[in-house]
Chains A and B, each alone.
Chain A
Amino acid sequence: MNLQNLMVDLIRQSTANVFSTMLGVELASGEALVESGTPETNDGVVSLIGLAGAWAGTGSVSCSPALACRICSLMLMMESTGVDEDVLDAVAELTNMIVGSVKNDLEPHLGPLGLSIPTVVFGRNFRTKSAGTTEWTVVRFPWETEVLVVKICLSPSEKTHTTCHMMGQTCALDV
């Protein structure tokens, strides 16, 4: 199976499962696309989490401030009206669960992967870029009147990929 198709499937499954279990929300299946070139500008909350191992990259969850507050309200069962520390923590935890679950399901294909502590950014008109990676697998989930975006970029770590080919092995997945 193509790695991008696999990641799309896993992002859809993981996000739906986390939303259903933690927030009691049944998400519609998201629209998938590949993002390359200059990343779009962001307005709102973006949470980033690093993946490292034989493959390395970044996972991200982004949404509007209103959606971030809604996530926090549902997760912590308290009313959130503005982006504060609780809201940023809730989005970070959501990212940890979504990307962590994708990571767990990718490990049988790609080998062990480590997960970093999430970093959350809140602001307007900013871009995020993962050094060394140009393509993101993106799934856009419509929720109420807004959109939650889950993205992952992943590529073979240079040393592992080179060693793999020097030893005449083939990559587990069609990249």
Chain B
Amino acid sequence: MAIRAIHEAGDGQEALELLKCQSVNLVLSDINMPKMDGIQFLAAMKASPQWRNIPVVMVTTEGGEAKVGEAVRLGAAGYVRKPFTADQIKEKLAGILEQVAPL
């Protein structure tokens, strides 16, 4: 898996602003975030014709079915439960990136 660049945002609102000026192949988002949480951010992405096809992987401590189920229902490509190893996240991202256009 070759990654050209990683762009960071501190919350959902900042991430939406970032998406306006950066072209990305995949988004990795926490659920528990200030200002706009990961579920609201995912909903905003999926409501946008411009961003709805970008795969979003949720990273969360929330093990409950409610939050994870909501993320999947909204169109998350997958989720990784914290804590995770570097290998676990690499494997998850590689699997999802294989299904989308190559970087």
Q: A17-B83, A21-B83, A21-B84 are in contact. Are A96 and B32 (CB under 8 A)?
A: yes
Count CB-based A-B contacts (< 8 Å).
Answer: 35
If A21-B84, A117-B32 touch, whether A101 touches B64 (CB-CB below 8 Å) is no
A107 within 8 A of B: yes
Q: Distance in Å from the Cβ of B29 to the closest Cβ of chain A?
A: 14
A115 at the interface (CB under 8 A from B): yes
**Among candidates B34, B62, B84, residue contacting A117 with C-beta atoms closer than 8 Å:** B34
Interchain CB contact under 8 A, B34 and A104: no
Number of interface residues, chain A, beta carbon within 8 A: 14
Given contacts A117-B32, A117-B34, contact A97 B63 (CB under 8 A): no
* Residues of B close to A100: CB separation below 8 A: 32, 61-62, 82
> Top 8 A-B pairs ranked by shortest CB distance?
A100-B61, A21-B83, A104-B63, A22-B83, A18-B83, A97-B82, A117-B34, A97-B83
Interface residues of A (CB under 8 A from B): 17-18, 21-22, 96-97, 100-101, 103-104, 107, 112, 115, 117
